[in-house]
A and B are shown apart, each in its own frame.
Chain A
Amino acid sequence: MIRLIALFVMLALPASAEEIVLGLSRDQVSITATFEGSEILIFGAIKRDGPVQAEGDLGVIVTVAGPDEPVTVRKKDRRFGIWVNSASVDVDVAPTFYAVATNRPLSEILTFTEDLNTRISTARAIRSVGATVDSAQNFTEALIRIREQQGLYQTLPTGVSVVEDTLFRTLIPLPANLTEGDYKAEIYLTRGREIVDFYVTDIPVQKVGLERWLYNLAHDNPFLYGLMSLSIAIAAGWGASAAFSVFRR
């Protein structure tokens, strides 16, 4: 709380104030039938009223987070000679996508307590309350590891390039297996490992066109969707046999 007040006090002082001015290469991401992944360019400048007076090194942190969802992490164990799922941990909140890009390794530009409060690092962005297994941490680590392999969780320690302590830019790659929803881009400015300003903006990620229509139909009107799938199948089967009986003659 004191830290928060301190932050406001700092922002209120015009002489030392540093503010983020932001630009995005795109304000929404569309998942089309041929979606192969994408990337998003986040760039901006640090606005100052006067010459640089703040002490400590400048840090820029950019995070992009997908919608939160609960996840069940299961572990395989050997039972009767075969590997089966046994223990499981429910993770209450895990972003479906999470990227952290910084201009230098996170620990050099952010204090541990600030990380705890703002939940910037990937491990902090995941919350599991009421885990019943002793080794719950192994499960959340596995979650991060698996999603990192899928390109869904990214830590880019030198992903942000800063020019003249004023301009910054970063490129966040988005994989093909994105979940749709409102993505949140957050930009933090730190001085001497304390946050001096931050900026939040939404980037909606949506299926569009046929993909959106099919997905909505399958979930909103599953009976009709099922009938449609079946009639396509029957039409195809009939068409194939008709076409080839003509072909044979």
Chain B
Amino acid sequence: MQIYLPIAEISVNIFLLLGLGGIVGILSGMFGVGGGFLMTPLLFFIGIPPAVAVATEANQIVASSFSGVLAHLKRKTVDLRMGTVLLIGGLIGSGLGIILFNYLKSLGQVELLVQLCYVVFLGMIGSLMFIESLKAIRNASKPGGSVPKRRKHNWVHNLPFKMKFRVSGLYISVIPPLMVGVLVGVLAAIMGVGGGFIMVPAMIYLLGMPTKVVVGTSLFQIIFVTAFTTMLHATTNFTVDVVLAVLLLVGGVIGAQIGTRIGVKMKAEQLRIWLAIMVLAVCGKLAFDLLVMPSELYSLGTGGHS
């Protein structure tokens, strides 16, 4: 059954969209990731215009992170203070990202920007994750296992404007979390992702936050940054397709619950390695499209230089 998407202005099979939402939902439930970085490229592949895909996906992430943060608030694993600092950075970043997005759109280079961002970030994260989980599997087979690292004092601790973050048990400068927030905000606006896959490692390794508050805090930040991004896209580009968002949501919500159940039954290292392979596969497909001569060299854009 086809459904006409009013903003994307194309007709798409309704079961394809529900299925995509479901599959990405299952994966995000299994691996505990937002899934935006998988969904947005998949939307490109089925022919949704990139500008619509990015804006609509931002809206969808609001839903999935809201659902997630409720559980974390109940368990009190959200550092609201740290979340707010990250959020301020995120809002600034999102604004900058939209300006960059609209500027490149006028030049006809927005697709390139989005694809390059995906190739670079997916490639980086995918290979890091792959190497680390290989190591983890090897260490697990050896007796003794890995030695826990001691937290070191690095440059992060020598910056001014220090602030106390009680939930995280930290006393650090607000500059690094602000910077992390800005970076994530820019990525949210350009790539249509929550940015959890950048923020979570940054919070653990750069800010030294305890692992148990990391996910809840990043979800808290993601809700507001993606909500802000959605509003910016809706008011400047008119590219949020609510029909598309709802269809993806329905599939995603159901898929996520199934995925969580599958995830419990699998081993953590195995999960991580599969996730890494998947991330690298999406990255490879996007890189391939950029490197190989396209069958149609010409493309159409909306007229004028506006």
Contacts and interface: CB of A to CB of B under 8 A. Distances in A.
Interface string A162-192: 0000000000000011010000000000000
B70 A177 contact: no
B1 interface: yes
Interface string A54-70: 00000000000000011
B53 to A, nearest CB: 15
Interface of A: 31-37, 69-78, 81-85, 88, 90-92, 138-139, 142-143, 145-147, 176-177, 179, 207, 210-212, 214-215, 218-219, 222-223, 225-230, 232-234, 236-238, 240-241, 244, 247
Given A34-B1, A177-B9, A230-B62, A238 B67 contact: yes
Given A77-B297, A229-B245, 15 more contacts: A36-B2, A71-B300, A71-B302, A73-B298, A73-B301, A76-B294, A76-B297, A83-B290, A142-B296, A145-B298, A211-B4, A233-B249, A234-B62, A237-B63, A240-B257
7 contacts: A74-B298, A74-B300, A78-B293, A179-B9, A222-B234, A229-B245, A237-B63
Given A35-B11, A214-B7, A232-B246, A85 B293 contact: no
A222 B235 contact: yes
B59 interface: yes
B241 to A, nearest CB: 8
Contacts of B65: 237
B301 A228 contact: no
Interface residues of B, number: 54
B163 interface: no
Given A226-B235, A229-B59, A238-B67, A214 B242 contact: yes
Contacts of B305: 72, 90
Contacts of A70: 302-304
B303 A225 contact: no
B126 to A, nearest CB: 19
Given A70-B304, A233-B245, A237-B67, A76 B299 contact: yes
Interface of B: 1-4, 6-7, 9-11, 59-60, 62-68, 70-71, 108-109, 111-112, 227, 230-231, 234-235, 238, 240, 242-243, 245-246, 249, 253, 256-257, 290-294, 296-305
B215 to A, nearest CB: 15
Contacts of A218: 6-7, 234, 238, 240, 242
A85 B231 contact: no
A55 to B, nearest CB: 44
Contact of B304 (A90, A227, A247): A90
A74 B11 contact: no
B108 A88 contact: yes
A241 B7 contact: no
A29 B60 CA distance: 32
Contacts of B10: 176-177
Contacts of A214: 6-7, 242-243
B294 A83 contact: yes
B109 A72 contact: no
Nearest to B2: A36
A236 B70 CA distance: 13
Contacts of B71: 241
A137 B246 CA distance: 43
Given A35-B11, A237-B67, A75 B297 contact: yes
A71 B257 CA distance: 44
B238 A234 contact: no
Contact of A241 (B70, B297, B299): B70
B231 A223 contact: yes
A240 B253 contact: yes
Contacts of B293: 78, 83
Most buried by B among A145, A146, A241: A241
Nearest to A147: B300
Nearest to A230: B227
A148 to B, nearest CB: 12
A193 B240 CA distance: 50
A172 to B, nearest CB: 18
Nearest to A242: B70
